[in-house]
């Protein structure tokens, strides 16, 4: 940023004095890559891009924003799915990158804990844990860019939630800068602490609207010593759920993934990635990926136990066919098919996508009942679901009729379909955002469908902790 630019904006002048040229820029080449969200749905403008070096700088910057009335849009890896880190069109907001605050402050291997700053990338965290023969048990597609701060602010999920939970379950301590610049510091992990309600929980999943997460103490687990991935074919989604119950009963402590995909998605993967080899030769209404892992203590018997579990499942007629990974490479190959489903589905043409949950036991019925209903109500569409059956969370796509102008369809019929899907989910007691958050993408739908008492609480707490409304305005609430 040139000095002249700063001098015409008193806020930027003060911010530049505080952060220095490394910490503040208006250079469009540096700023613009961060003004569009990961999925390319939202593009905004920003007054500048701030990258404070530490929590003290950030605290002072937030005070400065308060004095000048400047809105702040916090951003980690900019890989969110709901536009929660993209500023609006006014250009009023300061885009705040946490990426420079990327130190791993401490790993306590014996206690199984890491304290790291908000800007640490998930992949880096994985590697740091592995170097200590430990692991951080949350992972997702964007792990090369997603940061700890963003993962906490959105309470991220991913493919390993079944056993170890979403981000919320892995946060032991937290540090954040509040709207008035105060630093809330609760990094020390206490297993028991009843000094009032748990303030950490307010910041987890609040999408930067109540405070800016600057660091966290996270749970680490013993490294995976052995892993078996099983691919099974079943005749229906209820059958998949029965298989899930069977696996939970036999290997509840080692079962870490239970993903479902319809045959149509497997076909789409084959079209999209011709080199992919389906684990099973035959066709099955639903395909299931089951991941079972053990640390060193349980590794020796894992494979044998998996074989027993699957033999028992065969005997009880819980599946049509199954294959078990014989190597790490094969385990990865099985996962690659699952991970390719979203891209393969997108390649099939225009679609509206939904990230929804209902109570776990209701998901098979939800899909079986609502998919034909939607296809009848919106002729020519195809409704498909895939994902985390074990969490009651599927990604629910409704594909446009063929030969459709995608953009126009999305804006009209697509919007109507999404409203219908969200209505149905709400009727079934579910959530219109299982793991992707609300951001700006689903804000209006949350207002339309949210429980009035819940909306009242969300707004009252927001007003209480950010009375000027400067923290990530226009997101969530």
In the region spanning residues 75 to 94, those forming contacts with its own copies, defined by CB under 8 A, are none
Count CB neighbours of 323 within 10 A. 17
Q: How far apart are CA 245 and CA 323, in angstroms?
A: 19
Applying CB under 8 A, which of residues 64, 146, 204, 268 lies at the interface with its own copies? 204
Task: Please report, as residue ranges, which positions from 345 to 404 form the binding site for its own copies (by CB under 8 A).
Answer: 357-361, 388, 391-393
Q: How far is the CB of 130 from its own copies (least distance, A)?
A: 19
Q: Does 424 bind its own copies (CB under 8 A)?
A: no
Give whole-number Cα distances, 395 to 196, 230, 357, in Å. Answer: 37, 21, 9
Residue bearing tokens 């749905």? 41
SS3 (DSSP) at 48: strand
Q: Does 118 bind its own copies (CB under 8 A)?
A: no
Interacting span for its own copies (CB under 8 A) from 86-94, 249-257, 378-386, 399-407? 249-257
Q: Does 437 bind its own copies (CB under 8 A)?
A: yes
Q: Does 431 bind its own copies (CB under 8 A)?
A: yes
Applying CB under 8 A, which of residues 49, 240, 432, 470 lies at the interface with its own copies? 432
Closest residue by Cα to residue 49 from 78, 27, 70? 27
Q: How far is the CB of 72 from its own copies (least distance, A)?
A: 18
Cβ-count burial of 275 within 10 angstroms (0-12 exposed, 13-18 middle, 19+ buried)? exposed
Q: Does 433 bind its own copies (CB under 8 A)?
A: yes
Q: How far apart are CA 287 and CA 322, in angstroms?
A: 9
State how far Cα 122 lies from the chain centre.
Answer: 12
Q: Does 304 bind its own copies (CB under 8 A)?
A: no
Angle at 145 between CA 344 and CA 185, to 5 degrees: 135
Q: How far apart are CA 213 and CA 408, in angstroms?
A: 38
Q: Does 274 bind its own copies (CB under 8 A)?
A: no
State how far Cα 182 lies from the chain centre.
Answer: 28
Q: How far is the CB of 39 from its own copies (least distance, A)?
A: 16
By C-beta, is 59 or 340 nearer to its own copies?
Answer: 59
**171's tokens:** 């946060």
Q: Does 190 bind its own copies (CB under 8 A)?
A: yes
Count CB neighbours of 168 within 10 A. 14
Number of residues located near its own copies, criterion CB under 8 A: 76
Task: Please report, as residue ranges, which positions from 149 to 178 form the binding site for its own copies (by CB under 8 A).
Answer: 154-155, 157, 161, 166, 168, 178
Q: Does 460 bind its own copies (CB under 8 A)?
A: yes
Q: Does 313 bind its own copies (CB under 8 A)?
A: no
Q: How far is the CB of 378 from its own copies (least distance, A)?
A: 25
Q: Does 199 bind its own copies (CB under 8 A)?
A: yes
Angle at 246 between CA 243 and CA 252, to 5 degrees: 120
């Amino acid at each position: 940023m040139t000095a002249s630019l700063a001098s015409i904006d008193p806020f930027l002048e003060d911010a530049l004095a505080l952060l220095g040229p490394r910490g503040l820029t208006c250079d469009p080449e540096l700023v613009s890559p961060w003004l569009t969200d990961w999925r390319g749905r939202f593009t905004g403008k920003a007054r500048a891009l701030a990258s404070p070096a530490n929590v003290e700088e950030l605290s002072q910057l937030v005070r400065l924003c308060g004095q000048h009335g400047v809105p702040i849009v916090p951003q980690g890896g900019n890989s969110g799915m709901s536009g929660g880190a993209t500023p609006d069109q006014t250009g009023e907001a300061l885009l705040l990158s946490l990426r420079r605050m990327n130190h791993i402050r401490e790993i306590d291997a014996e206690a199984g804990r890491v304290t790291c700053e908000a800007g640490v990338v998930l992949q880096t965290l994985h590697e740091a844990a592995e170097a200590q023969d430990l692991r951080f048990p949350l992972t997702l597609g964007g792990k090369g860019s997603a940061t700890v701060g963003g993962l906490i602010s959105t309470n991220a999920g991913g493919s390993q939630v079944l056993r170890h939970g979403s981000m919320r379950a892995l946060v032991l301590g937290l540090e954040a800068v509040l709207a008035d610049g105060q630093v809330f510091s609760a990094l020390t992990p206490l297993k028991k602490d009843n000094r009032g309600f748990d303030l950490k929980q307010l910041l987890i999943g609040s999408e930067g609207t109540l405070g800016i997460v600057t660091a966290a103490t996270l749970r680490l687990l013993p490294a995976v010593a052995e892993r078996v991935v099983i691919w099974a074919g079943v005749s229906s989604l209820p059958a998949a759920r029965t298989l899930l119950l069977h696996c939970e009963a036999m290997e509840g402590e080692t079962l870490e993934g239970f993903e479902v995909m319809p045959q149509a998605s497997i076909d789409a993967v084959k079209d999209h990635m011709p080199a992919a080899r389906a684990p099973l030769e035959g066709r099955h209404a639903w395909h299931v990926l089951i991941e079972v892992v053990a640390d060193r203590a349980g590794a020796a018997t894992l494979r044998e136990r998996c074989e027993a579990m699957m033999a028992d499942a065969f005997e009880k007629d819980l599946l049509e066919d199954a294959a078990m990974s014989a190597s790490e490479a094969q385990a990865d190959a099985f996962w690659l098919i699952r991970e390719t489903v979203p891209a393969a589905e997108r390649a099939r043409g225009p679609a509206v996508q939904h990230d929804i949950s209902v109570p776990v036991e209701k998901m098979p019925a939800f899909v079986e009942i609502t998919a034909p209903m939607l296809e009848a109500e919106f002729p020519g569409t195809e409704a498909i679901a895939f994902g985390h059956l074990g969490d009651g969370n599927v990604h629910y796509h409704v594909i446009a009729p063929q030969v459709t102008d995608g953009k126009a369809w999305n804006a009209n019929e697509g919007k109507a379909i999404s409203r219908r899907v969200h209505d149905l989910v709400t009727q079934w007691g579910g959530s219109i955002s299982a793991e992707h958050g609300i951001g700006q993408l689903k804000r209006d739908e949350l207002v339309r469908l949210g429980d009035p008492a819940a909306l009242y609480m969300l707004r009252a707490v927001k007003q209480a902790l950010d009375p000027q409304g400067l923290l990530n305005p226009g997101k969530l609430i």
